[in-house]
Amino acid sequence: MSFDSFAFNPRITAGIHDLKYQDPTPVQAQVIPHVLAGRDVIGIAQTGTGKTAAFVLPMLQRLMQGPRGRLRALIVAPTRELAEQIQGVIEALGQHTGLRSVTLYGGVSFNAQIQRLRRGIEIAVVCLGRLLDHLGQGTVSLDHLEMLVLDEADQMFDMGFLPDIRRILRQTPARRQTLLFSATMPNDIRALADEALRNPVSVQIGRVAPATTVNHAIYPVAPHLKTPLLIELLQTIDTESVLIFTSTKHRAKRLGEKLVQLGYRATSLQGNLSQNRRQAALDGFRDGSYQILVATDIAARGIDVSSISHVINYDMPNTAEAYTHRIGRTGRAARTGDALTLVTNEDAAMIRAIERVLGAALKRELLAGFDYNAPAPIRDAEFARPPREPQYRRNEPRRRESRPDGTPARPAHSPHHAGAARPGNRRAGGRSEERIR
């Protein structure tokens, strides 16, 4: 199949050429015709499959006709990074269309967003907290919305956003086209789809990138030897761009600092950074100024850096889905990539779960010449013990990390939880920009 078969407006085709996309990816081939036909679509697809362009291209096509200067398409993303990434795709593919888009998320100036909205836009890429703020202040209206996209819906659900999504849905016209993308389809997301979508078409794309183009290997190691083994691996293997995952923000920061001390062009990305510093870390990683980025799952969600050669799991993820998400960052668009995971005895059950999902055994590797029997250094307190589980208040459901759109996290099913927001950090809209953890 070729992009010609969609008969896109020539201004959109020019954008596709600029990005040097030759043919549609499987998710694009399956989703785009339905969206162009005006159908609601459930897309079960992960990052790395080309899902962003699968909704952006037909969206641009629809918006080329009809009025300009009013908000007609809304894309809701769970994190600021993903929102920025989607915005980048809209700007690149839509650069010849004259259509205007804005990102709305917390942690950055409210007034600058209002100015941008006043100049007139057709598309908004948003995180929920800040969108609700704008709706509350009357600076955004969804009255003319024609298209709504919920991206990474399972992630939004995990982060407790479901009540916010419902609040947004109530403010949109009933006669709208709705697209929902999710890597997995648990019952709660299925229920949301039943509420929000009309007679949707379901499209499922398998784990294209990890299954076909990524080499997986696990490196058994004692917990206190993880850092020395990582450093030895970095010295031994031929890497371009390396994305390293840790289980906590603190470990991401510490490991990033350690690698910088050792002379690596490294940085870390975790929820404690200001938006400017997060963006600087991401931009630096994308343009190659940093060769290594150390990140937590949430901070790295949706990172799209096409040249990532290695994903290294310094800490094993909590679920098999998180593993496939992480390694979805390498081996993209027909490149090959490597996924290395440092595993300790405690990770045996998770290894089996991942092997079940991948349908193949993970290769066990030992690094030749590495001293696997070295004793624990007396002062390496942080890395010698397993990461501490985050502390939760009693009766509070578990969250994986604070809401990366900069608004306070709330437990799922409890929209009014405000216990952790400190005074003094509130502003006119009533929502705090405070992060909980």
Whole-angstrom Cα distance, residue 167 to residue 133? Answer: 12
Nearest to 209 by CA among 45, 18, 378, 43: 45
**Which of 54/358 has CB closer to ligand AMP?**
54
Nearest to 345 by CA among 229, 223, 246, 247: 223
**Which of 326/332 has CB closer to ligand AMP?**
332
* Count of CB atoms situated within 10 Å of the CB of 111: 8
Helices (H), 110-149: 110-118, 128-137
Residue type, 193: A
Q: Kindly state whether residue 21 participates in binding ligand AMP, applying the rule CB under 6 A.
A: yes
What mask of x and - would describe binding to ligand AMP in positions 252 to 291, judged by CB under 6 A?
Answer: ----------------------------------------
**Which of 2/187 has CB closer to ligand AMP?**
2
**Which of 206/419 has CB closer to ligand AMP?**
206
Least CB distance to ligand AMP at residue 6 (A): 12
Least CB distance to ligand AMP at residue 207 (A): 12
* Count of CB atoms situated within 10 Å of the CB of 151: 25
Whole-angstrom Cα distance, residue 360 to residue 367? Answer: 22
Q: Kindly state whether residue 51 participates in binding ligand AMP, applying the rule CB under 6 A.
A: yes
> 């096409």: which residue's tokens?
306
List 276, 306, 307, 318, residue binding ligand AMP (CB under 6 A): 306
**Which of 24/210 has CB closer to ligand AMP?**
24
* Count of CB atoms situated within 10 Å of the CB of 19: 11
Q: Kindly state whether residue 50 participates in binding ligand AMP, applying the rule CB under 6 A.
A: yes
Q: Kindly state whether residue 318 participates in binding ligand AMP, applying the rule CB under 6 A.
A: no
Q: Is 396 exposed, middle or buried (0-12, 13-18, 19+ CB in 10 A)?
A: middle
Q: Kindly state whether residue 49 participates in binding ligand AMP, applying the rule CB under 6 A.
A: yes
Kindly state the tokens that stand for 145: 């919305």
Number of residues that bind ligand AMP (CB under 6 A): 15
List 15, 43, 48, 406, residue binding ligand AMP (CB under 6 A): 48
How many residues can be counted in the chain? Answer: 437
Q: Kindly state whether residue 332 participates in binding ligand AMP, applying the rule CB under 6 A.
A: yes
Least CB distance to ligand AMP at residue 249 (A): 24
Kindly state the tokens that stand for 344: 């300790």
- Residue 431's alpha-carbon distances to 3, 40, 389, 418, 436, in angstroms, are 44, 32, 28, 10, 13
Least CB distance to ligand AMP at residue 189 (A): 18
List 29, 31, 42, 53, residue binding ligand AMP (CB under 6 A): 53
List 15, 24, 43, 408, residue binding ligand AMP (CB under 6 A): 24
Interface residues with ligand AMP (CB under 6 A) are 21, 24-25, 28, 47-53, 304, 306, 332-333
